[in-house]
Amino acid sequence: MTELKPLNRPRFLAPTGIWLLAFIWLAAVIIIRPLGNFPLNDDWSFGRTVKHFVEHHDFVPCSWAAMPLVTNTVWGALFCLPSGFSFDALRFSTLVAALIGMCAVYGLVKMSRTPEWLAVMTALVLGFNPIFFPLSYTFMTDVLFVSVCVLAAIFLLRHLQSGKNSDLFIGTALVVLGVLSRQLALAVPLAFAIVSCLKGGFRPSALWRALLPVVVGTVVLVVFQHWMAATGRLSYMTGQKDAELSSALLHPIASLPRFSNNLFISLLYLGLFLLPVSLCVLASVWNTQKKKVQILFAISLWVLLLAYFCFQRDAGLMPLSSGVLTRSGIGPVTLPDAFFLNLNAPPDLPVVFWKTVTALSAIGATALMTLLGLFILETVPKLRSATLTDNQVTALFLILAAAIYSLPLLITTLMDRYLIFPVPFLAAALVVAFPPILKLPARVFVPATALLAAFVLFAVGSTRDYLTWNRARWAVINELLANQHVDMAKMQLDGGFEFNGLNFYERKGWWHVQNADYLIAFGPVPGYAAIQEHPYSQWLPPGSGKIMALKKSPEQTTAKN
């Protein structure tokens, strides 16, 4: 492996890259126009927690949340200070957090003297990821969590190269913020502890520094959960998640099918998400390690095909996991007719589109496995002699953080948005681990850039469509509540998951309003008559749709009574 110069202290805010990222991000925000005081996906539950915190100055999370949520609640509350609570304010808080996360990835990659264009590309691979990007327009917890963890990684890496305690303390503080957002932030200090011991040994002076972030993060998490339990605030969902993980660990053989399935799906998603960067890195090692790359690529491809034909032949096309990415673009699609009755769902994107995405995912997974295999071959022999370069230490830290984070998810329920965290860590690791990419041939640069541009177009177009139909949904709801004398106390209206959760969760549970007199739907439903509708346009695929308010037919109402 070509030796790189030691890592220098980063120029965090190199103006060119930061301003370019901010400009692209702002342009996307203007195009999408993320206005609307309504919840999206699960963020009705997180919004309720912020609202209570803002109005009563007390942290009482909704029982729907299984994560600590403290950092997210405080962050959201800060943006509610100027004009009070609103989902617009919460959405803006996540957009800011997403931009910070992009800039943090840029700074992380620049620590290795990476060219400006590649640092910007790596940041955009996260920012316009087809899951990260739409979540940036919600108050879901994932975006702020990932951004805080990347910042923590930067300062812990700075401590590894400089030895300054100030970087260690700042990194530890960021670890605490990450842990108080989602428990799996502990992956970052665990990875730091491992690489610190590999680099500095087990001398007492080095050991306390290696263990400080993980010990502090663990203690804070344990104390917080004990306080939550003692004060009756601990969510039952936390217990369900812990029980699922404990069951998987106690029965490892029974967990193997789920593990293999989740690993296969994760490789396809991560391969797709990282493909623009993977192509560039493969090109940089091709000339110097062509034989190894060819062998590893062939082995990786056969392993992937073997896994598919042995375990996944019924998997079908992407997307293969539930959550944000759906056959129609960005979701979830949470109106009752589409979700429960399989009626009137937004049209799927063309099959040829998903075939192309699946093929690119397979290529990307093979490329990712190849590069990780190459890194292992180059790194493992140096572990015994402790002769790793600073860049190899950095890459090892980032890969370990992604791996430690992923392990619990591979043996439990996997959702696509859980795969956001590994994206910036693996992307930065691939760029740092191999020889610097100063100039790429056009035959590589053009496809990589075209793929990134396709990600941008899909992310912007599908997110715009997602917000557009939700904006139409809430316009119909507000008109219905104003004009039809709907009795909310009797839960007469099924407005979909977000509306029901926001208004009825404590009384009814996770969603369903049984036998509602009114429905909000994408189209006609048997037994209901349309009383109003709101059209909307969509970009992917081009066309139009409508959101309808439906009222139960008189004969249905009579039968119910």
> What is the b/e burial string over 253-263, where b = at least 16 CB atoms within 10 angstroms of the residue's CB?
eebeeeeebbb
Summarised one tens digit per residue, pLDDT across range 160-191 is 988 899 999 999 999 999 999 999 999 999 99
**H or E stretch including 243?**
helix 236-250
- Span 183-206, mean pLDDT? 90
Angstrom CA distances, 525 to 37, 222, 338, 498, stand at 27, 49, 10, 20
Looking at residue 311, its pLDDT comes to 67
Distance (Å, whole) CA 333 – CA 155: 39
Distance (Å, whole) CA 486 – CA 484: 6
| Tokens, residue 264 | 């296969």
Pick the most confident of 297-301, 441-445, 503-507. 297-301
Phi-psi group of 346: left, alpha or beta (phi > 0 → left; psi -120 to 50 → alpha; rest → beta): beta
CB–CB of 189/195 below 8 Å? no
- Span 433-438, mean pLDDT? 80
Task: Enumerate residues 6+ apart whose C-beta is below 8 A from 535.
Answer: 472, 544, 545, 546
| pLDDT above 70 for 13 | no
Amino acid identity, position 461 = G
| pLDDT above 50 for 241 | yes
Summarised one tens digit per residue, pLDDT across range 108-131 is 999 887 888 999 999 999 999 999
Domain boundaries, the chain: 15-464, 465-560
What angle, 0 to 180 degrees and rounded to 10, lies between the N-to-C axes of helices 422-433 and 87-110?
20
| Tokens, residue 334 | 């949470």
360 burial (CB, 10 Å; 0-12 / 13-18 / 19+) is middle
β partners of residue 547? 534
Summarised one tens digit per residue, pLDDT across range 310-328 is 766 667 899 999 899 999 9
Helix or strand or coil: residue 397?
Answer: helix
Compute the mean pLDDT over every residue in the chain, rounded to the nearest whole number.
Answer: 90
| pLDDT above 50 for 6 | no
Average the pLDDT over each of 16-20, 239-243, 340-344 and give the range with the smallest value. 239-243
Task: Enumerate residues 6+ apart whose C-beta is below 8 A from 26.
Answer: none
Looking at residue 250, its pLDDT comes to 86
